[in-house]
Amino acid sequence: MKLGSIESFNYFFDYYYSGLCLYANAYIRDMSASEELVQDVFVRFWEKRRNIEIESSVRFYLFKTVYNQCLNLLKHKKVEQKYRQQKISHAENLYEEQWSLFNESELRQVLDQAISKLPERCREVFELSRFENLKNKEIAEKLGITEKTVENQITKALKILRKELKDFLPLFLMYMS
């Protein structure tokens, strides 16, 4: 193989590939990631074939290389997970800080301002739905419109409010929970 014999490489690949995949999967518990890892090991094995010094056996070399790559992958996943957790923690802290700047009446005032920007019929339907807890059918009967119009008006209101309150949504979600 050191001289570039593709047949030799194919022999090692065919002989060890499936066993190495199972071995890797025992560590990383993801068969597609295991297969990808083993393929990478074989690619590097071929690319570095001229410089590799195998002291014991090809089998030992390949299994040891797969083991090391599994450890590297697991360390990398652990770092990614820690980073993700830090980002989540930072976001939660930021929301808590923002929440402490507002009290319930201030949030209600922000919500009222956003609702006041809704078109008249849209606002009327939204308030009947959300503040008087009427069902769409009841709103339709009360206002003399179809249930479909009620649904459309509520959808329109929510879309406008999401846009108007985008900077305050995390605070409202915290307030509502």
Domain ranges of the chain: 6-97, 103-176
40-56 pLDDT, tens digit each:
999 999 999 988 888 88
Q: What is the pLDDT of residue 88?
A: 83
* pLDDT(174) > 70: no
Does residue 100 carry a pLDDT above 70?
A: no
pLDDT digits (tens, 9 = 90+) for 10-67: 999 999 999 999 999 999 999 999 999 999 999 999 999 988 888 889 999 999 999 9
Q: Tell me: domain 103-176, CATH 1.10.10.10, correct?
A: yes
pTM value is 0.49
Q: What is the pLDDT of residue 177?
A: 46
Domain 6-97 of CATH type 1.10.1740.10 = yes
- State the Cα–Cα distance between residues 23 and 38, nearest whole angstrom: 10
Lookup result for tokens 């008006």: 153
The rounded distance, in Å, linking the Cα atoms of 169 and 165 is 6
pLDDT (0 to 100) of residue 168: 72
